[in-house]
């Protein structure tokens, strides 16, 4: 195994071991979280050792906690007692590797992440925001306590070891046919319409990959298409106490192509939505990050059919809008100008890495 991730508590009595930080959601099943905790029980007294996995929505910085305000809401939590031993998982290859690494007095644990939990997503902070970003995160934590979940018992920071992990999705191996949309629009003071058809080659693109949009225009009107404007919108659906949905534009590009009256146009225009062009946009959804590493625009959330109502957290989707800016002709000029717009759904994801 290339790397082991470990974290030791401040008191030195607990060391948490994980073999990876990224756990893949394959839509129908999620990778198991297999880990090990090494114990040095000399200072435990009558306290027990617990391990928990929590999926939480963070919506403020840690500073708020000082003022007595809760800054994270647990969406899902599972907790086991490790010592004295009561949780005995089936041993996996990962467990055996970690136990070898940890040495004596180490205990294995396993968590199954439900498929209806959101993936790790963070919301881009504004330039002046401090503290941790808002968003959904997963945390494995081992700690010392007298009871499993007594809200009145204070757990000291030094008696805790924790590691953030990520739940991620990769693009499916089978890519579907691309979407197609068309419109036929009539104008005031013009007998005949403008027709437009737009299509993508496939239904899914990778982050950073150029997206070619095939566009056909038949302009039978007496007006001129002055230019093409293409935007990509990210819609973030935050489902917690109540649904909150908002849309941010992550790409806005104009093309100078024109289509005269009674003319036609057929070509492919290419776009690439990137986080690097959107660094100042507060609240933009990004893929969850570990520490301060680079990330990218959030991947499209893929759900099992019928599960939409159950999912809490953050759901992300994209759409492309193709706009023809049409200039008014004749005596009324600009008064009869208008836009012709079609929309295409877009899925943005990462390719599945080659198996190591």
Q: Is 313 contained in some domain? A: yes
| One domain, residues 165 and 268 | no
Please say which residue of 149, 169, 189 terminates a domain: 169
| One domain, residues 105 and 161 | yes
Q: Is 315 contained in some domain? A: yes
- 255: domain range? 180-349
Total number of domains constituting the chain: 2
| One domain, residues 82 and 129 | yes
| One domain, residues 156 and 193 | no
Q: Is 282 contained in some domain? A: yes
| One domain, residues 104 and 219 | no
| One domain, residues 289 and 235 | yes
CA distances from 142 to 23, 119, 158, 189 (A): 19, 22, 11, 72
| One domain, residues 90 and 185 | no
Q: Is 139 contained in some domain? A: yes
Q: One digit per residue, pLDDT tens: the chain, 356 residues?
A: 568 899 999 988 999 999 999 999 887 788 999 999 999 888 888 889 999 999 988 775 554 444 444 567 788 899 999 888 877 888 999 999 999 999 889 999 999 998 888 889 988 877 666 666 688 889 999 999 888 877 788 888 899 999 999 999 888 888 889 999 999 988 877 788 999 999 999 999 999 999 999 999 999 988 889 999 999 999 998 877 566 788 999 999 999 999 999 999 999 999 999 998 998 888 899 988 766 567 889 999 887 666 655 566 788 999 999 999 988 654 444 444 568 899 999 999 988 877 54
What pLDDT is recorded for position 302? 84
**CATH, residue 128:** 2.60.40.840
| One domain, residues 117 and 30 | yes
DSSP 3-state of 42: helix
Q: Is 264 contained in some domain? A: yes
**How many other CB atoms are found less than 10 A from the CB of residue 51?**
26
**CATH, residue 276:** 2.60.40.640
The DSSP H or E segment spanning 101 is helix 93-102
Closest C-alpha among 158, 203, 180, 202 to residue 302 = 203
| One domain, residues 275 and 321 | yes
The structure's pTM equals 0.82
| One domain, residues 300 and 232 | yes
β pairing state of 22-24 and 5-8: unpaired
| One domain, residues 228 and 79 | no
């Amino acid at each position: 195994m290339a790397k082991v991730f470990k974290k030791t508590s401040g008191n030195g009595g607990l060391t948490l071991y994980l073999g990876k930080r990224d756990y893949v959601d394959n839509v129908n099943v999620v990778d198991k979280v297999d880990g090990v905790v090494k114990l040095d029980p000399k200072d435990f007294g009558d306290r027990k050792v617990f391990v928990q996995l929590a999926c939480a929505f963070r919506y403020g910085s840690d500073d708020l906690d000082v003022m007595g305000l809760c800054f994270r809401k647990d969406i899902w939590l599972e907790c086991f007692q490790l010592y004295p031993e009561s949780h005995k998982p089936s041993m996996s290859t990962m467990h055996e590797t970690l136990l070898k690494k940890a040495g004596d007095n180490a205990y294995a644990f396993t968590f199954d992440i439900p498929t209806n939990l959101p993936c790790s997503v963070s919301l881009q902070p504004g330039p002046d925001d401090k503290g941790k970003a808002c968003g959904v995160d997963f945390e494995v934590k081992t700690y010392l306590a007298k009871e499993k979940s007594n809200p009145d018992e204070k757990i000291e920071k030094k008696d805790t070891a924790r590691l953030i992990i990520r739940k991620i999705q990769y693009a499916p191996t089978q890519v579907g046919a691309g979407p197609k949309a068309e419109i036929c629009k009539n104008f005031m003071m013009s007998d005949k319409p403008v027709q437009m058809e737009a299509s993508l080659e496939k239904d899914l693109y990778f982050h950073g990959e150029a997206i070619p949009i095939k566009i056909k225009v038949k302009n039978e009107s007496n007006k001129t298409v002055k230019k093409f404007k293409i935007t990509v919108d990210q819609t973030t659906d935050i489902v917690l106490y109540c649904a909150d949905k908002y849309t941010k534009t992550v790409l806005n590009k104009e093309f100078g192509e024109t289509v005269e009256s009674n003319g036609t146009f057929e070509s492919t225009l290419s776009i690439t939505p990137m986080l690097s062009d959107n660094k100042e946009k507060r609240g933009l959804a990004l893929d969850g990050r570990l520490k301060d590493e680079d990330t990218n625009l959030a991947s499209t959330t893929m759900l099992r059919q019928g599960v939409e109502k159950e999912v809490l957290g953050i759901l992300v989707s994209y759409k492309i809008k193709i706009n023809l800016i049409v200039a008014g002709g004749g005596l009324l000029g600009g008064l009869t100008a208008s836009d012709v717009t079609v929309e295409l759904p877009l899925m943005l994801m990462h390719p599945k890495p080659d198996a190591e």
